[in-house]
Amino acid sequence: MTYDVQTLSDIAEIRQLNARYNRLADVGDGEGYAANFTEDAEFDIVGNRVYRGRTEIASAASATQVTVHVTTEPEIAVEGDMAQQRVRMLSVVRAPDGSRNEFVASGWYVDVLKRTSEGWRYHRRRVELDLKVQEVFRKMGISAAFEALAQG
């Protein structure tokens, strides 16, 4: 397959969006994290709930600062001002005292992205974990925080 310069630029920008997403999620910067999404975005953590809009999405990111987010090479298809992406993700729990990192889970991000005046943003992001989400949250020690979010 041959790509034109615009498509290559779009793919590079989406990859930077992925990197920024991981960094802001890792530090629990809910506001910065949510800015990676469109205003009307949906963030679906399968088995937990769908977070709608930047305010709800920010609350999910602010609920934890113990996770290290790792993504692998994405598959990206750009069509005009929309794109689709599928990318493997790995979650690692980081001990607050810096004594250890421990693998927790793998899964997939399945995304619909939209070009906005702010650049590429997630419009629909679906997290498909390879383990039950409740087990992942338990291993990370964040069950109570996400149960509170689920109750509103």
Domain total of the chain:
1
pLDDT value of residue 152: 62
For the domain that residue 59 is a member of, what is the CATH number?
Answer: 3.10.450.50
- Residue 62 has a pLDDT of 76
Residues pairing with 69 in the sheet: 91
Distance between CA atoms of residues 47 and 50, nearest Å: 9
> Which amino acid, 48?
N
Domain range holding 76?
5-150
**CA 88/CA 4 separation, integer angstroms:** 25
Give residue-wise pLDDT tens across range 61-116. 877 777 889 999 999 999 999 999 999 999 998 888 889 899 999 999 999 999 99
pLDDT digits (tens, 9 = 90+) for 1-20: 788 999 999 999 999 999 99
Global pTM reads 0.90
Q: How far apart are CA 8 and CA 90, in angstroms?
A: 25
Q: What pLDDT does residue 147 have?
A: 76
Question: Is the pLDDT higher at 59 or at 9?
Answer: 9
Mean pLDDT of the chain, nearest integer = 92
Would the pLDDT of 141 be above 90? no
For the cut 70, the answer to whether the pLDDT of residue 36 exceeds it is: yes
